[in-house]
Amino acid sequence: MPLSIHSLGKEPQASQLPHLSKCLLLLVERILNHLCIIKEHTLLRLITEGFPACWDPQVSIKDLHFDGVPVRIYLPRKPSASKQRGVVFIHGGCGIFGSIRTYERVCRYIARKSDSVVVSVGYRLAPEHKYPTQTLECLTATEHFLKTAETYGVDPARVIVCGDSVGGTFTTSVCQELGQRIDIPKIRAQVLIYPFLQALNFNLPSHQKNAAVAFLTRERTVHFILKYLDKDCSLKEPILAGSHVPENINLKYRKWINPDLIPDVFKMGYKPPLPALFSPQTHKEVPELFEPWVSPLLAEDAVICGLPDTCIVTCEHDVLRDDGLLYKKRLEDNNTRVTWHHVEKGFHCSLGFFGYGIFSFPSSSTIMNHVVDFIKGY
């Protein structure tokens, strides 16, 4: 696995241990998977499960099911004089790992600091549960909560959906789908933390700049997408080159996915790649990459116009940085209110270290504080 210390030098020495440890574990995972000792996603789930959190006297926790979807609800113990806001949290993990437990500390913190009822969605994971199971279960849980919010002391007009990485993808899809509905309360706002939003172009400036940064390299991004969709990983190289996209689709979506739309400050050293030779066979193998549930940036303007207020968090050391920047522009072009935070010392997966004391990163707390401050505004 390509490994870069590019982001390590940006954080205190005490915080480098978990970073290096996780990179070592990911390397071991690839070796064991190659030797057929353990499946890749199985070990990743063990690595990311984390340690159980201690009891929190300020938060009451309940495990429930919303129309068959496992959820964990975090309710502030402090009595509220009025109905509270609600937060639906959708975890990251490429759709193949991560869990409610992985984000226990994150959800407790949001509930405690923003005085919100938080619902963490435990959607079933790929590859055992095929795409689009994950999106459908996030939709089901969110819709159920919107309909029953008052049962939990929540004002249904103050529900926010939040997610990181692919959780940001699912959050975007949930808001795009439910934004068209008139039979349920409207989602008040969405929070997208370094989201994955498009699978057409893997040669944007952030892909080049952070191609070998630890945790999520450019190569691993496409690898995980193929794993999530249960596709042959031999398709990785032509997809990285852009050979899966025919010219007519490139032309159609150039207005939304284009390095020219990225601010110049983020394009230092960028070199436009040579045009890729289109591969009809590759295109035929991955039609899902062109669906809005995988690439929400491809949703039509009629859908984008119906989206709620949005907070987008991008990180300097993240291959997906430009996905967030492009979506920010699309939303603003369609008159959606956007709050944007760029974490200069942040990297993909920062949030996964939140709440682990000296083993956390400063960027982890920075992201969480931006998120909580935004939520408190509603």
Q: What is the pLDDT along the chain (378 residues), one digit of tens a residue?
A: 333 333 333 443 333 444 455 555 556 556 655 655 567 888 788 878 888 888 889 999 999 999 999 999 999 998 888 999 999 999 999 999 999 999 999 999 999 999 999 999 999 999 999 999 999 999 999 999 999 999 999 999 999 999 999 999 999 999 999 998 999 999 999 999 999 999 999 999 999 999 999 889 999 999 999 999 999 999 999 999 999 999 999 999 999 999 999 999 999 999 999 989 999 999 999 999 999 999 999 999 999 999 999 999 999 999 999 999 999 999 999 999 999 999 999 999 999 999 998 888 999 999 999 999 999 999
Catalytic-residue membership of 63 = no
Beta sheet of 116-121, edge-to-edge order: 59-66, 69-76, 116-121, 84-90, 154-164, 189-193, 309-317, 338-347
CA 236 to chain centre: 21
Q: Which of 318, 350, 364, 370 is catalytic?
A: 318
pTM: 0.91
Catalytic-residue membership of 67 = no
Q: Which of 165, 173, 360, 363 is catalytic?
A: 165
CA–CA gap between residue 319 and residue 214 (Å, rounded): 10
Catalytic-residue membership of 318 = yes
Strand-pairing partners, residue 118, are 74, 87
- Percent of the chain that is helix, strand, coil (3-state, to 5): 45, 15, 40
339 half-sphere exposure, CB direction, 13 A CA radius: 17
Q: Which of 207, 283, 341, 348 is catalytic?
A: 348
Instruction: Report which DSSP code applies to 260.
Output: G
